[in-house]
Structure 1
Amino acid sequence: MSMSNPVQELRQNVAIPFEQAQAMPPSVYTSDAFLNEELEHIFAKDWFCVGRADALANAGDYTTCELAGQPILVIRDNDGDLRAMSNVCLHRMSTLLQGSGQTRSIVCPYHAWTYNLNGSLRGAPAMSLNEGFCKDQYKLPQVKCQEWLGWVFVSLNAEAPDVKVQLQAVESMIAGYDMTNYTEAFQEEHVWDTNWKVLAENFMESYHLPVCHAGTIGGLSKLEDMVCPPGHEAFNYHTILKDDQLRIAMAHPSNDRLKGDERRTTFLLAIYPSLMITLTPGYFWYLSLHPKGPGQVHIRFGGGMSDDYKDDPDAQQNFKDLKALLDDVNVEDRGCTEKVFRGLSSDRAAPGHLSHLERPNYDFAQYLMARIDAAKNS
């Protein structure tokens, strides 16, 4: 298959109705040209999740990311507000903060220019002899930042529609879970040798669970209990019913918001472009993905429990056991998704038809094409 025009190849792919659909063409995953389209028209325009707000609860708590090539920091300021801003010093343009942590001020590691938590310049050593220097004229450029159900999103696009508006349908669908009141217990960062879309699609379908996860959760996954409705403009989802072998996957006895099968329903939410949330009535875990070239993906991996369980004496041990299981599941997912990328990089790779259990993958391809076409037609 020609890789000269991956955008056109995807356009042809998504023109086919779901009942006849095939997986996306290999060039969409392997070409630098398509990655550039994604960075310019998707990651630079849509919302990107940096994690949970409760992980940034106190003044000076911060995290950093690179979004479409732009270094960004997100920090809780002294007024209690979350702010996102450029993570680049306004002097000689070093990056400022690294990773995640806590700080009383933002200090450049190169010349110690120091910024307040709101981005204004507090002080700059040895600048008094420059007649043009005025401290009050310096403030780190601000980046759009919003919180939604406990998640923190940033966007480089000042015109991006509010997260709450885009995801209102999600909010209504999962209201009984009260996702705002889930507390993060861990967050990690990883890099895997696969394309970010391969990992996103791996999350979007549970068709692979019985095989890829045969050593962990595969035996608990019944294909007949998976429901994959058509997706929405800003997200897709599917659901799985779980049994009570893992108690903290069930609604807590004190939860009177969920009824019947809702009390054991797991939602697998794919918030475009790259936030993947497994939400059970008792716990959640998530992946927030960003490409590092066609063949690597940077992963923000985190999870925690519903506050419904916070006073149960065995809940922490149950979650500790769950985290160990999730780590094993990740090892399996890494193996599967890295094999997929190696395979689709072959000259002889060709996409096959999709199962009805891969409806979210079809909708994801439609989203990618729609975003790229909208940018080209604007």
Structure 2
Amino acid sequence: MIRPEPGLRPIDELRANVAAPFERARAMPKSVYTSPEFLAQEQEHIFAREWLCAGRADTLPDPGDYLTMEIAGEPIIVLRDRDGQLRALSNVCRHRMSTLLDGRGNTRAIVCPYHAWTYNLDGSLRGAPAMTLNEGFCKQDTALPQVRCTDWLGWIMVTLNPDAPPPQQTLARLDQLVGDFHMENYHEAFRQDFHWATNWKVLAENFMESYHLPVCHAGTIGHTVDLEKMTCPEGEPGFNYHYILKNDALDLTLAHPTNTTLQGDARRTTWLISVYPSLMITLSPGYFWYLSLTPDGPGHVNVTYGGGLAPEFVSDPKAQEHFVRLQELLDAVNQEDKGCVEKVYRGLCADLSAPGPLSHLERPNYDFARYIASRIPE
């Protein structure tokens, strides 16, 4: 049984936590991970208000290509319309409110599986069987609600918030930092969805710090990093980041010989980027991979996971071999992370556990805690 400090709500505990300077920072209080009430606040004030990532734009190349997602309990369709534009629509029929599409695929029209009401790819209603005798029904006035959607550097970003500033504005500083990588040109080779037994913030924090790499990832990528060569600057309002100078142990982390854009240390620099609230990107000169997170109760997280290669590796005669190697590597990395983050959640649910002090290599975690605290109102 987890016992919060008497008289303090989780947000009060979190604000007290982040009031300390980074030099005396500790991990977030346990209640912000385990409280259903705090999660409800996160859903309302973070996930329903911020831009979330639906995946990569290059995975929806053709008209009718679609994927589905859920934002704070709201089912959403993201698709490529007849004009080649990305759209996001409500995934709920305007008749008896059945959900419409599942998973991913391609469709010429959106057909309700309950009564066959049919919508065009722009959300307008094409047809509704046996509705001619209802005098109040007007096909022209019935359409799927539109949801804001944009392509930001190759990422499909979606929000329910009509007033959220566009990511092109809030993440302009990030584009300045990594613009020479041109991640909009990277090609996604694989995408999966999975469900882990941990809080979404535990997984986000795990991605934000590379302190754990030599131990948790000893069997995969731990040997490619040196803790002394990690730089963890102070985060920005919309994201945090750190970067690592990689050694030559894995060729895919380095710039391809035909890459003439990146120079000097940039040819071996891997960026770990956390776009708030829940898009986690590893960007190297040779490949990228990402996690997009949504909570499923305090103790579970839904994860969209994908990855791919820089255009120079895609054009390489051994491209297919590179794709296979990359996915095998990252699948193994994910399994290592799964073990770590599920252990953390079990541990923070224990009575005798308590948040400990942060390393200087966990600066992004501190900035993330401050972001969370800033979004939950009094």
Q: TM-score, normalised by structure 1?
A: 0.97
> What is the distance in 2 between the residues matched to 1:275 and 1:310?
24
Map residues 126-205 of structure 1 onto 2, 5 A cutoff: 126-205=130-209
Say whether 1:275 aligns with 2:279: yes
Q: Give the drift of 1:228.
A: 0.5
Question: What's the counterpart of residue 100 of structure 1?
Answer: 104
Q: Give the drift of 1:278.
A: 0.4
Q: 1:220 to 1:247 in 2, by over 3 A?
A: closer
Equivalent pair of 1:236/1:271 in contact (CA under 8 Å): yes
Q: Give the drift of 1:85.
A: 1.1
Question: What's the counterpart of residue 243 of structure 1?
Answer: 247
Which of 336, 342, 345 aligns to 2:346? It is: 342
Tell me the SS of whatever aligns to 1:232: coil
Equivalent pair of 2:313/2:322 in contact (CA under 8 Å): no
Question: What's the counterpart of residue 31 of structure 2?
Answer: 27
Question: What's the counterpart of residue 85 of structure 2?
Answer: 81
Question: What's the counterpart of residue 372 of structure 1?
Answer: 376
Q: Deviations over 1:280-326 (max 9, x none)?
A: 01110000000000000000000111112222112321231121111
> What is the distance in 1 between the residues matched to 2:48 and 2:373?
15
> What is the distance in 1 between the residues matched to 2:60 and 2:281?
19
Equivalent pair of 1:236/1:270 in contact (CA under 8 Å): yes
Question: What's the counterpart of residue 262 of structure 1?
Answer: 266
> What is the distance in 2 between the residues matched to 1:222 and 1:314?
29
Q: Deviations over 1:250-277 (max 9, x none)?
A: 1122222211111000000000000000
Equivalent pair of 2:224/2:248 in contact (CA under 8 Å): no
Tell me the SS of whatever aligns to 2:376: helix
Question: What's the counterpart of residue 14 of structure 1?
Answer: 18
Question: What's the counterpart of residue 220 of structure 1?
Answer: 224
Give the gaps of 5 or more residues in structure 2: none
Say whether 1:44 aligns with 2:30: no
Tell me the SS of whatever aligns to 1:206: coil
Specify the code of the residue in structure 2 equivalent to 1:366.
R
Question: What's the counterpart of residue 311 of structure 1?
Answer: 315
Equivalent pair of 1:248/1:315 in contact (CA under 8 Å): no
Tell me the SS of whatever aligns to 1:51: strand
Range that drifts further, 308-317 or 67-76: 308-317
Specify the code of the residue in structure 1 equivalent to 2:45.
H
Q: 1:248 to 1:216 in 2, by over 3 A?
A: closer
Equivalent pair of 2:89/2:144 in contact (CA under 8 Å): yes
> What is the distance in 1 between the residues matched to 2:351 and 2:186?
45
> What is the distance in 2 between the residues matched to 1:190 and 1:129?
46
Tell me the SS of whatever aligns to 1:313: coil
> What is the distance in 2 between the residues matched to 1:247 and 1:208?
22
Tell me the SS of whatever aligns to 1:174: helix
Equivalent pair of 2:217/2:333 in contact (CA under 8 Å): yes
Which of 183, 207, 211 aligns to 2:211? It is: 207
Tell me the SS of whatever aligns to 1:187: strand
Equivalent pair of 2:198/2:299 in contact (CA under 8 Å): yes
Tell me the SS of whatever aligns to 1:290: strand
Q: Give the drift of 1:219.
A: 2.3
Range that drifts further, 249-258 or 126-135: 249-258
Q: Tell me the number of residue pairs that the alignment of Structure 1 and Structure 2 aligns.
A: 374
Q: Give the drift of 1:2.
A: 1.7
Question: What's the counterpart of residue 356 of structure 1?
Answer: 360
Equivalent pair of 1:26/1:350 in contact (CA under 8 Å): yes
> What is the distance in 2 between the residues matched to 1:213 and 1:311?
29
Say whether 1:285 aligns with 2:289: yes
Question: What's the counterpart of residue 306 of structure 2?
Answer: 302
Question: What's the counterpart of residue 2 of structure 1?
Answer: 4
Equivalent pair of 2:225/2:247 in contact (CA under 8 Å): no
> What is the distance in 2 between the residues matched to 1:25 and 1:134?
53
Q: TM-score, normalised by structure 2?
A: 0.97
